[in-house]
Structure 1
Amino acid sequence: MKASADLLVVGGGTAGLVSARTAAGLGARVLLVERGRTGGDCLWTGCVPSKSLLAAAAAAAGARDATRLGVHAERVRIDFPAVMDHVHSAIDHIEPTDSPASLRRAGVRVETGEFCFTGTASGTVAGRPIRFDQAIIATGSAPLVPKLPGLSGLDYLTSDTLWDLRALPPRMAVLGGGNIGCELGQAFARLGSQVTIIEATGRLLPREDPAASALVEDALARDGARVLTGTGVTGVIPTDAAGSAGGRLVLQDGTTVGFSHLLVAVGRSPRSAHLGLDAAGVECDQRGHVRVDAQLRTTTARIWAAGDITGHPQFTHLAGAHASLAASNAVLGLRRRIDPTVPRVTFTQPEVAAVGVSTAGPPDGVRLRSWSLTEVDRAVTDATTAGFTTIATDAKGRVLGATVVGPRAGEALAELTLAVRHRMRIRDLAGTTHPYPTYADAGWNAAIADVRASLTRPPLSTIVRTASTARRHWVHARARLSSPLGGLNGLPPRKR
C-alpha cells in the first residue's frame, strides 16, 4: 500500500501543531491524527485558561491592595461565572489559530480518531489502515492522579476538569505545591476561596531557589491561603456518597484537612498507552515516556517524538521548539540537536523564573551575584519590592544561570536566557544600555555590581590601579606643561 503521508503526526497539541506546520512548510505531505480536538492542553486546559484565571485573580488582589498606593476601592465583589466566561472567551478567541481549518490552510491533512501503530511504518486510525514514511509522536501528557485510598470515590478536580466550574469553591484543598498547585491555589484564594495547599516536600516549588519559594509562600499567606509543607497525604475521606466533591484529607501525622473541592496537582503522566508502541519498536522508560536521543529520534529510526511524551521538561515553549527540530530533522534529514537551555516560569505573584545552573547551592567555581527589588526604582514606585535577581557565572564571568523573582519575571528572564545560551559574559550585560525604569534593572544592576567587584580582585585590581596612577601622573604633567607661568625643567609655556 502506498504511504498515506511523508510524515504522520500523532497528536494535535502544541508539539503536533508545530511539527505538522513545519513539515508542510518544508514541502512534505503531512497527515495529523488527533483523537479529540486540536489545540491540546495549552489551549483547552493549560496556559490559556490558567493565565486568564490568574488575570482575574490579579485584578481582584490589585483592587484590594491599592491602599498601599493611597487608592481606596470599595469592597471587591467576585462574579465567578463572569470570571469563567472570561476564561472561555480567551479560549474561543485563540481556538481558530489551532483549528483543523487553520491546519488545512497550511497544507496539513487532518483526521480524527484513535491512532495505533501496527508496525514501524503502519498504523490504524479508528480501525482504518494507513502507511507513512516517517512519524512524530506528540500525544502529550495528562494530570497524574496518585493512588490514594478513598480518592476514587471522590469527584476531585484536576487541571483538565477545573474549567467546568460555575460556582466558586468555598473551601479548596490543593494536593501539590508545584507550579500548577501554587498558581491555581493563589488564584482561587484571591477570588475568595479558603485554600489549603499541601506539599509533601519541605517547601513549595521545590525545584526553585529556596529564597524564591519563601517569597511565594509569603505571598500566598497574604492572599489568605494556608500552606502545609513537609507532610504527605495518606488517604481521602469523602463526606458523602461516591461522586461527592467534599471530604477530608488525612495527613501523615493523623490530622485532617476539610474541603468542599479537592484539586489534584501532583504532576503529569505521558499519554503513551494504547498507541501500540511495541509494534513499532518504540521503547519507553518506566514512567511511560518515549525514549529519544538528542535529535529527538526514538528507538525506531523513522519515528520521532516531541513534547511532554518525551519526558523533557513539560513546557509549551519547549514542546514547540522541539517539534520544529524533530520535523526538520525528519523531513530534511538534518542532525540538529536539542538546545539544553530551557527557561521556566511559575506565574504566581511574584513570578518565579529561572534558567540554567541553579542559584540554590551551585557547583564549585560558580559565583552568584544578586540584586534586590528594594533597590530597583520601578519596584519602589509600584510598591512591589518583594523579589530579586540572582545571576550565576563561572570564573571567566560567563553567565551560566539565573533566577528572577518579581513582577514580569518571565520577561526579564528572556535576555538572561539568551546570555546563558550564547555563553555571554556578565560584562556584556553590564555594558548594554537598558531602558529605565524597568524591573529588568535588577539583572542589569547585578551585572554592573559584579563587574565593579571584579575590578577589586587581583590581578585586574593591580592593572586598574597601575593604569589609574599612570593616568593621574600624565594629567598632572600635562597641566604643568600647559601652565602660563612656565613648564617643567625650564621649558617655555605652551602657546595658546
Structure 2
Amino acid sequence: MIQAEQFEVLVLGSGAGGKLIAWHMAQSGRRTAVVERRWIGGSCPNIACMPTKNQISSASTAHVARHGARHGTISGAVAVDMALVRRRKREMVERQVAKHLRIYQESGAELIMGSGRFVAPKTLEVKLNDGGTRVLAADKIFLNVGTHAAVPNVPGLEAARPLTHIEALELDYVPKHLIVIGGGYSGLELAQAFRRFGSAVTVVESGPRLMTREDVDVSDEIRRVLGDEGIQILAGAQLLQVGGRSGDTVTLSLRTPSGEQQIDGSDILVAAGRIPNTAGIGLKEAGVELDGRGYVSVNGRLETSAPDVWAVGECAGSPQFTHISEDDFRIIRDNLAGGHRSTGDRLVPYCMFTDPPLARVGLSEGEAKRQGVLARVATLPMDSVLGAQATDQRQGFMKVVVGNNDDRILGFTMIGASAGEVMAAVQTAMLAGLAYSSLADADFAHPTMAEGLSSLFSSVPPRSVPETK
C-alpha cells in the first residue's frame, strides 16, 4: 500500500460543520486536510439552501410581476426565461465557491478533491478526481459526508429518471406539469416556485397530510396557501407505479382515499426524504458504528464509537439544517478546549421558505401533548397584525406554547411574512429564559410583523389549577 501521509486533522466532506472544523484547526496551527468528492463547501452553497432560495427569489419576482395590478402596477404579459434563472443561480454559486477557496488558502487547510474510503482506523485512501491515489492518516478524524435524496422503491420510478432538487435547480425550461413526490419542506418550496414560474404542479404525499411533523392547523394553513395558488395536493396517496420518462411524459398510478387514479405529467421531482452517505466508505474498517438507519452513531458530544473520530451534520443524524451543522462544529470546538457542551442542550429553529414562510423553534402544541408537558397555547391570525394589514400580507398565523407552571416560552410557530426574523426574536427570549410576559409587555416597533408578538403573548391563557382529588 502507498505510504500514508500524516496529518493532525483529517476531515471527510467539506460541508458546513466540516469546513469550519478544518479552518479552525488549520488556523490553530494543526496540519489539516479536507477530502471533498465534488461540492466545495458542501451542499448548502452548491445544490441546496442557497441556490434553492435564489431560485425561489426568481419565482417570487415572476409572481409579483404577474399580480402587480393588485398593487396598482400595470404590466404586460410576463414570461419566464429559465436559462436566465439558472444563470443567476450559477453565478451566485460560483461566488460562493470562490469565497470558500479563498478561505481554504488563507486558513492553510489543504483541500483534496477526490473520493475517500477508510482502509484502516484513521487511514483514508483517496481516489483523486484528476487521477492518482493518496493515502492519508491523521490523529483526529471528522466525518461530514452528508446525505442524498431517497428515491422510493416504486416500480418504474427509477427508470423514469426523476429529478431531485439537484437536477431541478439546473432546468432550463418550465415543466408543463411537475409532479412532486413528497409533501415535506423542500418539496413544497420547489412546488410553489415552479408553480410561480408557470408549471402546473401536483404534490403527492403518502401521509395523511402535508408536513406531518407540524401541528394539524399549521399543515392545513400551508395546504390552503398552496391550494390558493393552484397547486393540487393529493394526501394519503400511495404511489403504485410510474411509467414514461421525466422531461417528456409520465404517468403515475396512485391509490388514494377516494380510489385508484392516474396522473399524467411532464416531469417528476422526488422529495421524499434523505439517505446518509455512509455506505461504501469503509466505516467498518475505521471502527465507526452506524445506527439502524445508516447514520453514524454518536453521543451528545458527537463522538463516534472509534477513538478520536467525530461525526457532524446530517450523517450524524443531526437535524438537517446548515445552522445545526455549524453548531455541531461549535460543540466539538468547545469540548476539545475543555468544555462540556452537548447536542441535547440546544434549541433547533428552522424555516420553510414558501411564501408566506413557516418558522418554528421549540415545542409544537402536539409535541407538548405527546411529551406530557402541561402547557398553554395562544394563536393570533396574521390578519390581526397591523403590519400585515398595511402590506396586505395577511395569510397565516402566530402560535406560542407556554409552560403552565413557570411561564417559560416552550415553542413558537409562525406562518406569515418575515416569519424567520420574528421567530429569531422569540428564540432570543427563550435562550435568555424570559417569561412570556416580557414579550407581552414589550414595545415593538410599529408597524412591523414582530409587533404582533405583543398581542400574541398578551392572549396567553392564565395558569390552570390542577384538579384536586
Tell me by how many angstroms 1:43 deviates.
1.2
Match of 1:47 among 33, 46, 49: 49
2:254 maps to which residue? Answer: 251
The verdict on how the C-alpha distance between 1:299 and 1:382 changes in structure 2, with shifts beyond 3 A counting, is: same
The aligned counterpart of 2:454 is 444
Residue 337 of structure 1, aligned match among 339, 342, 362: 342
Q: Which runs of 5+ in 2 are unaligned?
A: 128-132
Using structure 2 for the length normalisation, give the TM-score.
0.91
1:412 correspondence with 2:418: no
**Paired residues for 1:305-384 under 5 Å:** 305-330=311-336, 332-338=337-343, 339-360=345-366, 362-363=368-369, 364-384=373-393
1:121 deviates by 2.5
2:409 to 399, 402, 406: 399
1:25 Cα deviation from its structure 2 partner:
3.4
Aligned to 2:61: 59
Verify the 8 A CA contact 2:301 2:341 in the aligned structure 1.
yes
Q: Counterparts in 2 of 1:49-198, with a 5 A limit? A: 49-99=51-101, 101-126=102-127, 127-198=133-204
Asked if the contact 1:60/1:191 (under 8 Å) is kept, the reply is: yes
Rounded Cα–Cα distance in structure 1 between residues aligned with 2:134 and 2:421: 46
CA distance in 2, matches of 1:337, 1:88: 37
- Say which SS state the counterpart of residue 120 (structure 2) adopts: coil
Contact 1:177 / 1:205 at 8 angstroms: preserved in 2? yes
Higher strand proportion (structure 1 or 2): 2
Counterpart Cα distance in 2 of 1:139 and 1:323: 14
Flag the 1:340–1:6 CA change in 2: closer, same or farther, 3 A.
Answer: same
Deviation at 1:132, TM superposition (A): 0.5
What do residues 111-170 of structure 1 show as CA deviations (whole Å, max 9, x unaligned)? 121111223222222243221101110011111111110112212100122222111111
Tell me the percent identity.
30
Q: Report if the CA contact (8 A) 1:143-1:160 is conserved.
A: no
2:412 aligned partner, one-letter code: A
Is residue 25 from structure 1 mapped to residue 30 from structure 2 by the alignment? no
- Equivalent residue letter for 1:64: R
SS for the counterpart of 1:36 is coil
Q: Do the aligned partners of 1:4 and 1:31 also contact (CA within 8 Å) in 2? A: no
Structure 1 position 277, deviation (Å): 0.6
Amino acid at match of 1:336: R
Q: How many Å apart are 1:225 and its aligned residue? A: 1.3
Q: Which moved more, 1:127-136 or 1:313-322?
A: 127-136
Larger Rg: 1
Q: What is the RMSD computed on CA atoms of the aligned residues? A: 2.0
Letter in 1 for 2:408: R
Q: Deviations over 1:184-211 (max 9, x none)?
A: 0000001100110101111111112222
Q: State how far apart, in whole Å, the 1-side matches of 2:90 and 2:5 are.
A: 39
Relative to 1, partners in 2 of residues 1:128 and 1:230: Cα closer, same or farther, differing over 3 Å? same
Structure 1 residue aligned with 2:445 = 435
Q: Gapped runs of 5+ residues in structure 1? A: 459-496
Distance 1:20 1:361, change over 3 A: closer
Q: Is 2:175–2:247's contact at 8 Å kept on the other side of the alignment?
A: no
Q: Does 1:16 align with 2:26?
A: no
**Whole-angstrom CA distance in 1 between matches of 2:329 and 2:386:** 40
Match in the other structure for 2:130: none
Structure 1 length as normaliser, TM-score?
A: 0.86
Measure how far apart 1:433 and its partner are: 2.8
Q: Partners in 2 of 1:3 and 1:425 — Cα distance?
A: 55
Q: Which amino acid aligns with 1:139?
A: V
2:397 counterpart (388, 403, 406): 388
Q: Does 2:39 align with 1:34?
A: no
Provide the rounded CA distance (Å) in 2 between the counterparts of 1:191 and 1:444: 37
For 1:264 and 1:361, how far apart are their aligned partners in 2?
Answer: 28
- Counterparts of 2:168 and 2:159, CA distance in 1: 18
1:63 CA displacement: 2.5
* Partner Cα separation in structure 2 for residue 12 and residue 92 of structure 1: 16
Cα separation, 1, equivalents of 2:366 and 2:263: 32
AA at the equivalent of 2:42 = G
Note the C-alpha offset of 1:245.
4.3
C-alpha distance in structure 1 between counterparts of 2:99 and 2:16, whole Å: 11
Aligned to 2:302: 296
* Deviation of the 1:3 alpha carbon: 6.6
Change (3 A) 1:247 1:336: same
Number of matched residues? 450
Q: Which residue in 2 is equivalent to 1:264?
A: 270
3-state SS, counterpart of residue 7 of structure 1: strand
Q: Please report how far the alpha carbon of residue 36 of structure 1 lies from its aligned counterpart in structure 2 after TM superposition.
A: 1.9
For 1:80-139, what per-residue CA distance to the aligned partner results, in whole angstroms no more than 9, with x for missing partners? 22222222122122222222x421211211112111122322222224322110111001
